[in-house]
Amino acid sequence: MDEKHQAAILLQKGGPLSVGERATPEPGPNEVLIQVKAIALNIVDSFQRDFGMPPVPIYPAVIGSDVAGLVAKVGSNVSNAPPLGSRAIAFASSFYQNGSPDHGAFQKYALAQSEGVIRLPDALSFEEGALFPLAVLTALSAWTTVGIPLDTKYTPQDKQAVLIWGGASSVGTFAVQSAKSMGFTVYTTASPKHHEYLKKLGADVVFDYKTSDVVSQIIDTAKKDGVILRTAHCVVHGSLQPTLDVLKITKGDAVAKVAHSPFPIPEGPTLDGAEIKFNLPPMDPAERNEHMYKCFHLWLQNGLKSGTVVPSPRVQVEAGGLEGLNKALDTLKAGVSGTKIVVQV
Ligand SMILES: NC(=O)c1ccc[n+]([C@@H]2O[C@H](COP(=O)([O-])OP(=O)(O)OC[C@H]3O[C@@H](n4cnc5c(N)ncnc54)[C@H](OP(=O)(O)O)[C@@H]3O)[C@@H](O)[C@H]2O)c1
């Protein structure tokens, strides 16, 4: 292996990224070194490039989190990683590694903690493999944020429904898939062109969020279906108020639980009898490692094996490799609809 590799480096707050060389690191005892073949982009990457938020504690920095590639080296204590040379999906982020640039995704070799590294099935491309990491972690963390364990299995008799506002987003598609796997009746919102796709992923009813009576449509459907609707995941900006408008009626006297993925939670919308929590994985490192293991090694790996979890949303490849990342991030900032931007390395 080369002792140096190419990286898209964030030299200072405000960017841009510039391609340069970095020393290729050795994995720590619980880490895996990935030779990166595809990188998927998240809007948080553009916030970090442009505003240094969420905080970037070390410059030069390497940002990004979602990769698929080949296992290049395995740390001495790792027993659960895919074998050397095999294809892998990895959550390679410096965010939970005190900003360590060796761990960011935007480079040809990146370190990842073993809890976030699983085998990439032969049937999936590297580009499809890169779709999963942060979106899966975020979708699954929403459940634990509102106190629902990941091994929850409701039966139809439980009549438990959930509202996922923003189903066509990257996080939303995995919120839908995971809600289905837990046995919820799944209500979600999206533009009409994505309705059939979201039903294939597991949504029971998809509502057009642009119609003026969408709130009453959801309330009426919950009444007709005879379900208990007091759990929600606000995935996208602007979703809290309409979600609370639904829950106000459907929660009855019970406490409603809402996970809110965009930061910050907007000032204003509240509801008596509703707990609204910012969606994040556990902050305690040991708890977070266990949570990541459950998300990647249990839910995702088992779901991929059994075919109950599929890559989503659709891949949108942007050209240019590491050099193309600035432009690809600008394209993401301009907005996507039912796709996730991926760059080949
Ligand atoms: N808390 C965390 O740790 C964490 C981690 C990752 C991401 N996030 C946040 O999660 C959010 C989603 O990220 P993402 O990458 O999944 O987004 P994304 O894929 O970029 O979202 C694009 C989609 O959002 C949908 N959308 C936009 N406004 C909508 C609305 N008012 N109602 C319903 N759908 C709407 C659009 O749906 P249509 O195409 O149907 O119009 C579009 O397909 C972002 O705010 C991000 O910052 C949080």
Residue 113, pLDDT above cutoff 90: yes
Whether 257 shows a pLDDT value over 80: the answer reads yes
Do 121 and 216 lie in a common domain?
no
Residue 26: the pLDDT is 98
- Kindly state whether residue 284 falls inside one of the protein's structural domains: no
Domain boundary at 278, 293, 326, which? 278
Regarding whether 157 and 265 lie in a shared domain, the answer is yes
Amino acid identity, position 284: D
Residue 255 lies in a domain: yes
Burial letters for 270-289: b for 16+ Cβ neighbours within 10 Å, e otherwise? ebeebebeebbbeeeeeebb
Tell me which of 256, 278, 300 is where a domain ends.
278
Local confidence band at 268 (pLDDT 50, 70, 90 cut-offs) = confident
Residue 301 in domain: no
Residue 252: the pLDDT is: 95
Ligand 1 contacts CB of residue 230 (under 6 A): no
* Residue ending a domain, choose from 226, 252, 278: 278
- In this prediction, residue 254 carries a pLDDT of 96
CA atoms of 140 and 124, how far apart (whole Å): 22
Decide if 298 is inside a domain.
no
Domain-located, residue 86: yes
- Name the nearest CA neighbour of 94 among 104, 85, 84: 104
Query: Is residue 112 in a domain?
Result: yes
Residue of 51, 144, 169, 278 to mutate, ligand 1, most atoms within 8 A of C-beta: 169
107-121 average pLDDT score: 98
pLDDT for the residue numbered 1: 53
Instruction: Please tell me whether residues 248 and 339 are part of one structural domain.
Output: no
Pair (145, 267) in one structural domain: yes
Looking at residue 245, which CATH number applies to its domain?
3.40.50.720
CB 134 within 8 A of CB 65: yes
pLDDT at 282 (0 to 100):
96
Q: What is the pLDDT of residues 15-41, one digit of tens each?
A: 999 999 999 999 999 999 999 999 999
Distance of alpha carbon 52 from alpha carbon 91, whole angstroms: 20
Residue percentage of the chain with pLDDT more than 90: 98
Query: What pLDDT band is residue 133 in, cutting at 50, 70 and 90?
Result: very high
254 and 326 assigned to the same domain: no
Q: In whole angstroms, what is the distance from residue 59 CA to residue 221 CA?
A: 51
Residue with CA nearest ligand 1 atom 3: 280
* Ligand 1 pocket mutation pick from 236, 258, 291, 314 by most atoms within 8 angstroms of CB: 236
Q: Residues 85, 103: one domain?
A: yes
Q: In a 3-state reduction of DSSP, which class is residue 8?
A: strand
Q: Does the pLDDT of residue 121 top 60, yes or no? A: yes
- The answer on pLDDT for 11 being more than 70 is yes
Same domain, 102 and 184: no
C-beta separation of 2 from 303 below 8 A:
no
**For a pLDDT cut of 70, what percent of the chain falls above it?**
99
What pLDDT does residue 135 have? 98
Residues 147 and 67 in one domain: no
| 148 lies in the same domain as 228 | yes
Q: Are residues 259 and 146 in the same domain?
A: yes
Residue 12 sits in the same domain as residue 37: yes
Q: Which atom of ligand 1 is nearest to the CA of 191?
A: 40
Query: Domain range holding 92?
Result: 4-131+313-344
The pLDDT of residue 152: 97
Is the C-beta atom of 144 inside 6 A of ligand 1?
no
Instruction: Please indicate, yes or no, whether residues 73 and 146 belong to a single structural domain of this protein.
Output: no
Would 34 be classed as within a structural domain? Answer: yes
Average pLDDT of the chain is 97
CATH code, domain with 330: 3.90.180.10
In the reported structure, the alpha carbon of residue 24 is separated from the centroid of ligand 1 by a whole-number distance in angstroms of 34
- Is the model's pLDDT at 2 over the cut of 80? no
Number of domains the chain is built from? 2
Classify the phi-psi angles of 158: left when phi > 0, otherwise alpha if psi is within -120 to 50, otherwise beta.
Answer: alpha
Report yes or no on 31 lying in a domain. Answer: yes
What atom in ligand 1 is closest to the CA of residue 171?
Answer: 16
